[in-house]
Amino acid sequence: MEMQELVRSRVEARLSTRKRKVTYVVIKRVTDIVISFSLLLLFSPLLWFISYRLQKKEGAPIFDRNTCIGKGGDSFIMYSFRIMTNPSMVIRSIPLNPELAVYSSRSTSSCILTPTGIWLKRYHLYMLPRLWNVLKGEMSLVGPTPNIIEGYKSSLNRLQVKPGITGYAQVFGNKESSEQFRKNADQFYIENCSYKLDLILLLQALKKFFKNNPKSF
């Protein structure tokens, strides 16, 4: 009887954990849809203004397109406002899915921040188009650092969750943080993601945004 009770308790605990995980994923997705749609609607005048300014001041392209690896290993195009000069149009990389081939400016030593790009980067506004990726379900508001296909190296664990606009590595690190720190931070999030952790990271990201730390990324 004791063995049967032990087996039953373990099965129930496993089912309970699986149920909580499914509930978390569903609620997280609903939250992503509601917040990303609301922010896109709220910031639509700002998005139009930035697009108009980039077109007039720096010219095309307005958006920087990076082919990234998402959940399950699927590739997608991550959008950002272009903040660097664009001396030539080149193929950034050969994506896993030929249908996703895009042309973009490659960031090299010859590329520098544009006048518009300076304040877009300072206030992190260049990331606003990524809300569209969140709404489409390719990214999440909170998650690991997005992996660009060019130079792509990652563990299979990273493919279990969607990359995020912000996350543990972005909140507790900065642009001077080592690559190993970012990998460890992303792995920590993947192993411990929860409603509470997501809320903490969102609040910390907002706090970091309003502090406007030039070393943040």
User: Structure tokens of 187?
Assistant: 């792995």
Q: What are the sequence ranges of the domains in the chain? A: 27-209
Distance CA 28, CA 46 (A): 26
- 78-117 pLDDT per residue, tens: 999 998 886 544 444 444 444 444 444 444 444 688 888 8
Task: Give the phi and the psi of residue 33 in degrees, each rounded to 5.
Answer: -65, -50
- 161-194 pLDDT per residue, tens: 899 999 888 888 777 777 888 888 888 898 888 8
| 23 half-sphere exposure, CB direction, 13 A CA radius | 8
Please choose, from the candidates 131, 201, 141, 147, the residue with its C-alpha nearest in 3D space to the C-alpha of residue 171.
Answer: 201
Asked if residues 192 and 174 have their Cβ atoms less than 8 Å apart, the reply is: no
| DSSP label at residue 84 | B
Per-residue CA distances from 50 to 63, 87, 113, 124 (Å): 11, 20, 15, 13
